[in-house]
Amino acid sequence: MIRFYKDSDYDSINSLLFSFDSNIDLNSNPFYKCLVYEKGGILGVLVFEEIYERIELDYIIVDDNYRLRGIASKLMDFLIEYSKSNNILNITLEVNENNLSAINLYKKYKFEVTSRREKYYKDNDAILMIRKFDNNEWHIYIRNWN
């Protein structure tokens, strides 16, 4: 089941985030939102910032024991549909150039490389990517939704 974060999820989510050296406090920024993939416990999270008509994807983290089971794809599916239903114009992100599984996931969802930040991750570059939505997608979404 995919749902939005609740205050009671705080400890579970933070332990998952901290295991990946991510020290994000979901309660510290009013723009933060978090999707939770839950099945007998929290197995994955997707953290993003919704700033007006755009989304910045910060993290997708899946518990090591549940990787390669489509959880990240399910979270992305939810985020794409959420974006369409809330008139988001684009989703942006940055990813370590060596994180090929994440890059392939984003390309699957029509993200395109826009630029690089040299040595952003110590010795590795960051790849900046964007997923733009156009009017045709909105019309298709609205027609299918009605």
Q: Is it the case that residue 11 has pLDDT exceeding 90?
A: no
Q: Is it the case that residue 31 has pLDDT exceeding 50?
A: yes
**Structural domains in the chain?**
2-145 (3.40.630.30)
Range with the lowest mean pLDDT among 6-10, 20-24, 129-133, 142-146? 142-146
Q: 141, 133 in Cβ contact below 8 A?
A: no
Residue 34 Cα distances to 20, 30, 75, 89, 123, angstroms: 16, 12, 10, 19, 29
Which tokens belong to 15? 């332990």
User: Above pLDDT 70, what percent of the chain?
Assistant: 84
Residue 144 has a pLDDT of: 47
Q: Is 138 helix (H, G, I), strand (E, B) or coil?
A: helix
Mean pLDDT of 2-27: 75
What residue ranges in 63-123 does DSSP mark as E strands?
90-96, 112-121
Range with the lowest mean pLDDT among 27-36, 45-54, 81-90? 27-36
How many C-beta neighbours within 10 Å does residue 45 have? 27
Residue 7 has a pLDDT of: 82
Please provide the average confidence, as pLDDT, over all residues in the chain: 85
User: Above pLDDT 90, what percent of the chain?
Assistant: 54
pLDDT digits over 98-145, tens only? Answer: 999 999 999 999 999 999 999 888 899 999 999 999 765 544 444 444
For 50-82, b/e burial (b = at least 16 CB within 10 A) is beeeebbbbebbbbeeeeeeebbebbbebbbeb
Residue 36 has a pLDDT of: 86
Residue 141 has a pLDDT of: 46
